[in-house]
Amino acid sequence: MSSVTATVVARRRGRSLLWREKVDGFVMIAPWLIGFVVLTVGPMLVSAGLAFTNYDILTPPKFTGTANLERLFADDLFYKSLRNTAIYTFLGVPLHVSVALLAAMLLNTKVAGQAFYRTAFYMPSMTPPVANALVWLWIYNPDFGLANIVLNAAHLPAQKWLWDKDMAIPSLILMSLWALGSQMITFLAGLQNVPPQLHEAAAIDGATALQRFRHITLPMLSPIILFNLIVALIGSFQVFTTAYIATNGGPENATLFFVLYLYRNGFEFFKMGYASALAWVLFLIVLVFTLIQFRLSKRWVYYEGDLKKG
Amino acid sequence: MNERTLKGPQRWLVQAVLTLGAIALVTPLYWMLATSLKETGKEWLLPPQWIPSPFAFENYPAALTSLPFIYFFRNTIAIVVLATLGTLWTSTMAGFAFARLRFPLRNTLFACVLGTMMLPHVVTLIPTFLLFKSLGWLNTLLPLIVPYWFGGTAFSIFLSRQYFMGVPLELDEAARVDGASNYRIYFAIMLPLAGPLLAALTIFSVLQHWNDFMGPLIYVNSMQMRTLALGLRSFQGTMQTNFNLMMAAATVTVAPVIVLFFAAQRFFMRGVLLTGLAGR
């Protein structure tokens, strides 16, 4: 009798514990959940709605149907900013990821002064982007900047850097390359997880360094490469601060990037409806490219314990 | 640690490439510091002074008094401290719940966290601005602090969940048998074990808020409410040609980051290793 009661009590207690766990789970994620609804999902829907209105903040939004979209597709600066952003992204991101990987591989060797090198490579990725942009604005100064002093010492012709419409984007890419540290350190962390036995076994079998890189290092790092590519692509599509400070979109709109154009429409011209339409276009572009990367990744990303490919 | 040992010429090649790379990466920071210590006019000398002579330390007080830097510091520190506290509390709590508690829709909701990590934030920018405007929060620090009391960042929740998944289950089971509530398990068992996590979250959060530019640019107007990053930008307008003073101001915003890096160097690496991926 008493054992039956005990079981019932235990079961009831167990059930109430499960119930508690459900309640507590929701209580503990509540701050995030509220933030997610109020600061992410809600604003996304609102901006989708605003995209179909004319809204200057002072007067209530007016529904204008697809007028914003029609204007967008006839807007030269929209295409220009899209093009600039695409060039910046598709030149910069692969370069960024490969240089960061190369740096990580070099830093993963036993060399004298390893700690110093790691610090030197990592540091520029932490310093404030505004300060970075000002420093590079000074370095790129066509008359007195360090960049031309270096070119001059190498007997190369001086450049106008950010002030030349063909050089401006490459100059900004070079500048962003300076901050390769955050990607580099994730690669470094990944390299340290590659079991050394794999390399040893392959070396005994006569694999060259290049073959080992191709068939061991790259597959083992592929999840991190994918992660870095996605993060870099999303970040690069949203490039803003460096261009806002260093070039403010110039010369001749050569560095008018998408988010800079969006910012101007929203916060300088107070065209909140048009800016919202731009924001959704960017969101869709980023979404498509992220999905493409995930889809393509099935062909080249190797996950440990993935037997099909193992 | 799993590092390759190189021999002979290969080793010298790597050493040479690394040295060149390190010089290239450190030079801009050195150039900033060197320019900041040059007398006005001497920053334009060609060939340049690699080592300023004499050292113009007076550039620093000159730069810092030309704009209300004391306010910039106050605002930046207020944002960094308050936003970081919010992130530490709310994201570890959510991370704990996602890692340890069973509740309906848990996996779906966590997928939402991951989705937010990949969301370009400009898509929420304008409505969020309008929301804070309607609350009367423009030109205050609140829009730069309060959102971080609602789960920190998606990344910080992800990192927390990842960390708590690695803590042995027996610990909370034992506490549960002893009748401890979930809150107690979170607070009295998990958090004390989460030192490396809290350190990593703190570092990432401090850097993020110290460096943030677009947020203050959008939400803050008056000189007195500006942050260091935004104040530095105002410098560009008023001191366009005084590169030595501008570099002095830049050095002042960069130096604390570098000090933080050296003070917390081992936590940086550990923070990255926490997930095998993370770090930004």
Q: Do A223 and B277 touch (CB under 8 A)?
A: yes
pLDDT reading at B267 higher than 80: no
| Residue pLDDT, tens place only, A81-111 | 999 999 999 999 999 999 999 999 999 888 8
| Residue pLDDT, tens place only, B166-215 | 888 888 888 888 889 999 999 999 999 998 889 889 988 999 999 999 99
What pLDDT, on a 0 to 100 scale, did the predictor assign at position A2?
Answer: 56
* B280 falls within a domain: no
What pLDDT, on a 0 to 100 scale, did the predictor assign at position B191?
Answer: 93
Q: Do A24 and B21 touch (CB under 8 A)?
A: no
Q: B21 and B72: one domain?
A: no
| Residue pLDDT, tens place only, A175-190 | 999 999 888 988 988 8
Residue B210: what are its φ and ψ, rounded to 5°? -65, -40
What pLDDT, on a 0 to 100 scale, did the predictor assign at position B278?
Answer: 42
What pLDDT, on a 0 to 100 scale, did the predictor assign at position B277?
Answer: 47
- Cβ atoms of B76 and B228 closer than 8 Å: yes
- Which residue in A3, A120, A306, A141 sits closest to B262, CA to CA? A120
Q: One-letter amino acid identity for B169?
A: L
Give the pLDDT band of residue A307 (cuts 50, 70, 90): very low
Q: Do B29 and A193 touch (CB under 8 A)?
A: no
Q: Which residue from B minimizes the CA distance to A186?
A: B277
Helix axes B8-36, A76-107, angle to 10 degrees: 130
Percentage of chain B modeled with pLDDT above 90: 63
Integer Cα distance of A98 and A96 in angstroms: 6
* B80 falls within a domain: yes
Q: B163 and B261: one domain?
A: yes
* B136 falls within a domain: yes
Integer Cα distance of B201 and A118 in angstroms: 21
* B36 falls within a domain: yes
What pLDDT, on a 0 to 100 scale, did the predictor assign at position A304?
Answer: 66
Bigger pLDDT: B266 or A216? A216
Q: B162 and B196: one domain?
A: yes
The domain spanning residue B268 has which CATH number?
A: 1.10.3720.10
Q: B104 and B168: one domain?
A: yes
pLDDT reading at A133 higher than 90: yes
Check residue A61 and report its DSSP letter. -
Q: How many domains does one find in chain B?
A: 2
Q: Of A32, A124, A280, which is closest to B157 when you measure between CB atoms?
A: A32
Q: B25 and B74: one domain?
A: no
Shortest Cα–Cα distance, B270 to chain A (Å): 9
Q: B57 and B74: one domain?
A: no
Shortest Cα–Cα distance, B75 to chain A (Å): 16
Shortest Cα–Cα distance, B146 to chain A (Å): 10
pLDDT reading at A15 higher than 80: no
The stretch B98-113 carries a mean pLDDT of 95
Per-range mean pLDDT, top range of A97-111, A196-210, B125-139, B175-189 = B125-139
What pLDDT, on a 0 to 100 scale, did the predictor assign at position B133?
Answer: 95
Contact list in B for residue A17 (CB cut-off 8 A) is 176
The stretch B152-173 carries a mean pLDDT of 90
Give the pLDDT band of residue B275 (cuts 50, 70, 90): low
Shortest Cα–Cα distance, A166 to chain B (Å): 23
A14-18, A133-137, B89-93: range with lowest mean pLDDT: A14-18
Q: Do A25 and B29 touch (CB under 8 A)?
A: no
* B3 falls within a domain: no
Q: Do B113 and A32 touch (CB under 8 A)?
A: yes
Contact list in B for residue A129 (CB cut-off 8 A) is 211, 213, 229
3-state secondary structure of A54: strand
The stretch A34-51 carries a mean pLDDT of 96
Shortest Cα–Cα distance, A34 to chain B (Å): 7
Q: B53 and B124: one domain?
A: no
Give the pLDDT band of residue B243 (cuts 50, 70, 90): confident
* B2 falls within a domain: no
| Residue pLDDT, tens place only, A234-252 | 999 999 999 999 999 989 9
Q: Which residue from A minimizes the CA distance to B262?
A: A119
- Cβ atoms of B148 and B83 closer than 8 Å: yes
Cα Rg of chain B, angstroms: 23
Q: B40 and B146: one domain?
A: no
Average pLDDT taken over every residue of chain B: 89
Annotation: CATH topology of A68-300: MetI-like fold (1.10.3720)
Helix H, strand E, coil C: the string for A88-139 is HHHHHHHHHHHHHHHHHHHHCECCCCHHHHHHHHHHHHCCCHHHHHHHHHHH
pLDDT reading at A140 higher than 70: yes
* Residue-number span of the structural domain to which B89 is assigned: 66-275
Contact list in B for residue A279 (CB cut-off 8 A) is 122-123, 125-126
Q: Which residue from A minimizes the CA distance to B119?
A: A283
Last residue of a domain, one of B20, B46, B61: B61
What pLDDT, on a 0 to 100 scale, did the predictor assign at position A308?
Answer: 43
Bigger pLDDT: B111 or B166? B111
Shortest Cα–Cα distance, A253 to chain B (Å): 20
Picking from B150, B155, B220 by the largest number of A CB atoms within 10 A of its own CB, the best residue to mutate is B150
Q: B39 and B139: one domain?
A: no
Q: B85 and B51: one domain?
A: no
Average pLDDT taken over every residue of chain A: 90
3-state secondary structure of A143: coil
Q: Which residue from A minimizes the CA distance to B149?
A: A31
Q: B57 and B72: one domain?
A: no
| Residue pLDDT, tens place only, B38-66 | 988 888 887 888 888 889 899 999 988 88
Q: Which residue from B minimizes the CA distance to A259?
A: B122
* B244 falls within a domain: yes
Contact list in A for residue B122 (CB cut-off 8 A) is 238, 259, 262, 279, 282-283
The stretch A17-42 carries a mean pLDDT of 94
Chain center to CA of B111: 25
Q: Do B247 and A111 touch (CB under 8 A)?
A: no
What pLDDT, on a 0 to 100 scale, did the predictor assign at position B145?
Answer: 97
Shortest Cα–Cα distance, A283 to chain B (Å): 6
Q: Which residues partner with A109 through β-bridges?
A: B4
Helix H, strand E, coil C: the string for chain B is CCCECCCHHHHHHHHHHHHHHHHHHHHHHHHHHHHHCCCCCHHHCCCCCCCCCCCCCCHHHHHHHHCCHHHHHHHHHHHHHHHHHHHHHHHHHHHHHHHHCCCCCHHHHHHHHHHHHCCCCHHHHHHHHHHHHHCCCCCCCHHHHHHHHCCCCHHHHHHHHHHHHCCCHHHHHHHHHCCCCHHHHHHHHHHHHCHHHHHHHHHHHHHHHHHCCHHHHHHCCCHHHCCHHHHHHHHHHHCCCCHHHHHHHHHHHHHHHHHHHHHCHHHHHHHHHHHCCCCC
Bigger pLDDT: B245 or B42? B245
Q: B80 and B15: one domain?
A: no
Q: Do B279 and A185 touch (CB under 8 A)?
A: yes
| Residue pLDDT, tens place only, A143-168 | 888 999 999 999 999 999 999 999 99
A1-5, A7-11, B71-75, B264-268: range with lowest mean pLDDT: A1-5
